[in-house]
Structure 1
Amino acid sequence: MSFSIIRSLKISMTIVGTTIGAGFASGREIWEFFSSYGESSQVGIVISMVILWLAGMILMLISWKKQTSRYSELLAYLMGPFFAKLIDGLILLSLLTTTMVMMAGSGATFEQWFGPSGFFAGCLVMAVAVLIVLLFDVEGLLSINVVLIPVLMAILIYVCFQFLESVDPLSDSVKRGANQPIWPTAIAYTAFNIISLLAVLSTMGKQIKHTGEVWFAGITSTLCLGGLAYIYNNSLLRIEHLISQYEIPLFALVEHISPIWIAVISSVLWLAIYTTAVSSMHGLVFRLSAYMPLPRVVIGFICMIILLPLSQIGFAKLVEVLYPIFGVINLSILASILLYPFIQPTPMGRHYKL
């Protein structure tokens, strides 16, 4: 098969869309993982992007060469059947939890726009929008990201540049930052995103047709993410004194622009929530299809019927218990991915149901 730049671009935008969730788009992730470390934050971004590029390349190459269609298959190649089966269920729970939280996030956004009655409507709109993408299988995921992600990135870059033009250079006090090493948080940020990337890239085996597409998608996605994170970080470093006043740091960057930008930013955050929900549900449905002999959109519909009422309740306790566990799993998966080229892969056991 010949190299296709369109196909490569779709895959690269899907990687970006999977990584840019509401946390990234709002600026909260960038602040917590990088900007709060001061001048060393830019080094942290570089370290994180290099690790993310390596992990993404390895995942895509395995998925392409082994023609995987779900994350459990890829996990078995990375860890062997025993450990893959052990972690499989926890990843499934992680994807379910992420989808629920994104639906609740959509409800909260609609509640901000339309009042208390908008919460359920927001959850329902998110569920329907995700199901529409599932109708078109993998191609639906690729196509929605190649359309939405450039728009989302363009708006965020415009906001950051407009803000940077309106403020003074960094002061010395801000430049000094925190006296802590940056590399642990750079690794933590990459690990934080690894389950979603694993779930999505494991389904790309049959979409990739040429080695060049892997390289193009890997490099392009890393440059897009790294460039956006770099610009965003520069902006956040200049509002260090305002961060405590804003739950969403992005709103601090648009204060000096027209009030209409508040509505634009709210829409951007909803799009970021949407792309995360699509990626999580995509990985979830492809995994469940091994157990449920139904069309994937039907599996997605069943999941949404179950998750919709659950999204109406609070998830503080659930997140408090599960997220530390997910953090350990993320680090173990990231380590397995990065070590894969240097160890003899363990063949998949016959007893492990894929």
Structure 2
Amino acid sequence: MLSSGFKWMFLIIGTTIGAGYASGRELWQFFGLESGLAIAIFSILFSVSCVVIMKVGYQKKSTDYLPVLEVIVGKKLTKLYDVMVFVYLFTTTVVMLAGSGATGQAFYFSYWWGVGFIAVLLVLLFVRGVNSLLTINQFILPILLVGLLSVLVLFTFDHKLALFSNLKHQENWKAAFPFTALNILPLIAVLGAIGNKIQSQKEILVAGIGSGLTLGIVSYIYNNSLIQIAEEILVYEIPLFAILKHYNFGVLVFMSIMLWFAIFTTAASGILGLTTRIQSYWKSPLWVIALCCVTVMVPFTIFGFSTLISYIYPIYGVLNLYVLMRLILYPLWNNKNIA
């Protein structure tokens, strides 16, 4: 049961740590100075949301996100949020494709080579269905988390940064709500697709609490590091590279590869949510649907990585606040016992 819980935990983290998060761009967009309390609140809200989503999926034995969405937002708003989830998954997966292009540019490859490379691999991944994504997450995410934390902790010690020096003033605490809300829709889409694979309540608790705690710790250390290089972030498409420039080329290569895998796992999660939803209407293999989705997405990557994040993420962070509220208050308004 414990191993299954970690499997879902890595799926959740893999869905969340994508181009925006791993690069530092998404964290900087919402947090920055005076955000320690905001990150703590995010960690709690994120855990609660994951537990509720997984329990609903477990009860419904869902294979796509629609049954879960119907319970969370109500039947009247299901159609509206069904469209919102679909558009959100589409646009954020476009962001991931653009992030792959931006990562390639850091090594002087063509932007379109980076986009094309991830597009092809995404289609190939779904030849074997959902299990391929779960397997990749189990291997890649621990390496990514250890690598990212190692660099951030090393940067903290090398620059003698204080982790808890700016806790007196926490005026940015409200940022926790749109930041958590931003990540809710992809979680509903992905966790809704595996509801029928969850075997017990213990798996749900391990996955929900573990993912919230892990992301909270990483977010706090990462944000603390970004505060120190605030001026440099303005000239970097990917803020992480402003930290990595202080270290040798080997570290840069390793973390860039890990960044790309973070982008890939999040893009794969987005494609999973889209393809399982489309499959309920169009009975074709997942890889065929994935090929169609990716083909339509590629032209939209011309808008660029940071531009897409700057406009899309804050908008959805606000629009999803209603979903977040429903998740937090679920035990109060739901007629049935959540357990």
Same fold (TM over 0.5): yes
The one-letter code of the counterpart of 2:166 is K
**1:103 Cα offset (Å):** 1.5
- Of 101, 105, 117, the residue aligned with 1:107 is 101
Structure 2 unaligned runs (5+)?
A: none
**1:23 Cα offset (Å):** 1.8
1:278-297 equivalences in 2 (<5 Å): 278-297=268-287
* Deviations, residues 282-306 of structure 1 (Å, cap 9, x unaligned): 1011111111111222211221222
**Counterpart contact for 1:78–1:345, Cα < 8 Å:** no
Bigger Cα displacement from structure 2, 234-243 vs 197-206: 234-243
Which residue number corresponds to residue 234 of structure 1? 224
1:175 aligns with 2:172: no
- Of 135, 140, 144, the residue aligned with 2:132 is 140
Query: What number of residue pairs does the alignment pair up?
Result: 336
- Of 74, 81, 84, the residue aligned with 2:75 is 81
Which residue number corresponds to residue 349 of structure 1? none
The one-letter code of the counterpart of 1:8 is G
**Counterpart contact for 2:61–2:195, Cα < 8 Å:** yes
Structure 1 unaligned runs (5+)?
A: 347-354
The one-letter code of the counterpart of 1:137 is G
The one-letter code of the counterpart of 2:70 is A
- Of 119, 122, 127, the residue aligned with 1:127 is 119
**Counterpart contact for 1:243–1:249, Cα < 8 Å:** yes
Which residue number corresponds to residue 271 of structure 1? 261
Q: Distance in 2 between matches of 1:309 and 1:66?
A: 37
Q: 1:250 to 1:74 in 2, by over 3 A?
A: same
Which residue number corresponds to residue 352 of structure 1? none
* Deviations, residues 250-304 of structure 1 (Å, cap 9, x unaligned): 2232333213323333223222211211111110111111111112222112212
1:208 aligns with 2:198: yes
**Counterpart contact for 1:194–1:334, Cα < 8 Å:** yes
The one-letter code of the counterpart of 1:335 is M
**Counterpart contact for 1:87–1:329, Cα < 8 Å:** no
Where 1:35 maps in the other structure, the secondary structure is: coil
The one-letter code of the counterpart of 1:35 is G
Which residue number corresponds to residue 22 of structure 2? 25
**Counterpart contact for 2:163–2:224, Cα < 8 Å:** no
Which residue number corresponds to residue 66 of structure 2? 72
Q: TM-score, normalised by structure 2?
A: 0.89
The one-letter code of the counterpart of 1:231 is I
**Counterpart contact for 1:61–1:214, Cα < 8 Å:** yes
- Of 64, 85, 91, the residue aligned with 1:97 is 91
**Counterpart contact for 2:51–2:204, Cα < 8 Å:** yes
- Of 158, 181, 185, the residue aligned with 1:166 is 158
1:188 aligns with 2:178: yes
* Deviations, residues 200-236 of structure 1 (Å, cap 9, x unaligned): 1111211110111111111221222122122223323
Of structures 1 and 2, the larger Rg is shown by 1
**1:331 Cα offset (Å):** 1.1
Q: TM-score, normalised by structure 1?
A: 0.86
